[in-house]
Chain A
Amino acid sequence: GESVGLHLPTLSVQEGDNSIINCAYSNSASDYFIWYKQESGKGPQFIIDIRSNMDKRQGQRVTVLLNKTVKHLSLQIAATQPGDSAVYFCAENGAGGGADGLTFGKGTHLIIQP
């Protein structure tokens, strides 16, 4: 499958600030996108998802934006907290019902500075 990538391997933000993590995807046929958070020693944890027929979706302190024109996905985390420190992955579920599995980006390590 085609790759899904993130722009920055590491992002450092001050506690309380907003953070934005970006992701570029290349498979224009992808119809479903997910953001995962992975803490050390744990498996990826679902944060928020968005389908290709939407541009924006909000959760608790998180917002995902999808720009299909430039094939760009972003995760915004409001008022970051120490517990937000983790590696964040975007993933796409290509067209075809997901039988090919999810394609993950390389991940961005979010560091929250006190």
Chain B
Amino acid sequence: KAGVTQTPRYLIKTRGQQVTLSCSPISGHRSVSWYQQTPGQGLQFLFEYFSETQRNKGNFPGRFSGRQFSNSRSEMNVSTLELGDSALYLCASSPGTAGYGYTFGSGTRLTVV
């Protein structure tokens, strides 16, 4: 079966712009979580969606938001980009409860200049 698909793979944006990243989970998976990975902070939890509802959110500013559609696909949005938002953004899907049976995508590499 197809894995977790994230698009685009690479993005370069200018400070102040906004960006939308997309994640298509494994077919049948209802939970989608997002993580930010940077060399300094490592992997950090952004938020998790289950059946179109955000169940929890990590310690990130309100500029980071997301949503999930009825087909379980998810998008995350970052507004007013800052240089420090440059990171690898990873999406993980799981059948149900977040954390169990996670499968990660390859990520979207965002560079803010």
**Chain A residues proximal to chain B, CB less than 8 Å:** 32, 34, 36, 41-46, 89, 91, 93, 97-107
User: Which chain A residues border B56 with CB–CB below 8 Å?
Assistant: 99-101
Q: List 5 A-B contacts (CB under 8 A).
A: A43-B92, A43-B104, A45-B104, A46-B102, A98-B99
With an 8 Å Cβ cutoff, the count of chain B residues facing the other chain is 25
A43, A89, A102, A105: the one contacting B99 at CB < 8 Å is A102
- The answer to whether B42 touches A104, judged by C-beta atoms less than 8 angstroms apart, is yes
- The answer to whether B98 touches A101, judged by C-beta atoms less than 8 angstroms apart, is yes
- The answer to whether A103 touches B45, judged by C-beta atoms less than 8 angstroms apart, is yes
Give Cα A102–Cα B58 distance, bound, in whole angstroms: 10
User: Which chain B residues border A103 with CB–CB below 8 Å?
Assistant: 45
With A99-B48, A101-B33, A101-B35 known to touch, is A44 a contact of B97 (CB < 8 Å)? Answer: no
- The answer to whether A101 touches B58, judged by C-beta atoms less than 8 angstroms apart, is yes
